[in-house]
Amino acid sequence: MKKIIIVLFLVFFAGLNCYATEMEEVQKFFNRYVDAANSYDTNYFNFYANDAKIIRVVEKNDGTFETVNIPLERYKNEANKSRLLMKIRKYKNYYSDIKILPMGKNYKVSALRQPSLSNYKIPAHFIIGKDNYGNWKIKEESMNTKVQAFLSKTIIK
């Protein structure tokens, strides 16, 4: 009986260690993603899964919210178009209150995002998991934004 309890105890702590190690990997991946985004690295989109879901939760002037799903290819095109202007303006995103929680085989990274050209912080989350090759990828990105342009039909299509 003692052996069974000891084995269960070891398995339990081995499992916790596995989560801790993966959570550290996810944290490092997220930090690399933020660095790539803030430095306008041309490999920035390599952090995303091919079928990543991009969500913007628009905080409207009247205090309501509207969720906009943006196809990844459209998001890439729009980001590439604005890259030079954002680089000139030295636009960056800063993340605080970062929390990482396991979600099945994936991890949810929740944070408050502060755009460098603003004085407010708004919610963001990322679902990060491994692809078929064992590489960490962003499977879902959701950010609140006060930028109304995301409501334009040209952005959504």
Q: What band does 152 get if pLDDT is binned at 50, 70 and 90?
A: low
**Contact partners, residue 156, CB within 8 Å, separation at least 6:** 68, 69, 70, 150
Residue 151 pLDDT: 64
Domains and CATH numbers, the chain: 2-156 (3.10.450.50)
Q: What band does 156 get if pLDDT is binned at 50, 70 and 90?
A: very low
Q: Which residues lie across from 43 on neighbouring strands? A: none
Q: Tens of pLDDT along 77-96?
A: 988 888 888 889 999 999 99
Indicate the pTM of the whole model.
0.82
CA dihedral 107, 76, 97, 108 (to 10 degrees): -10
In 3-state terms, what secondary structure has residue 48? strand
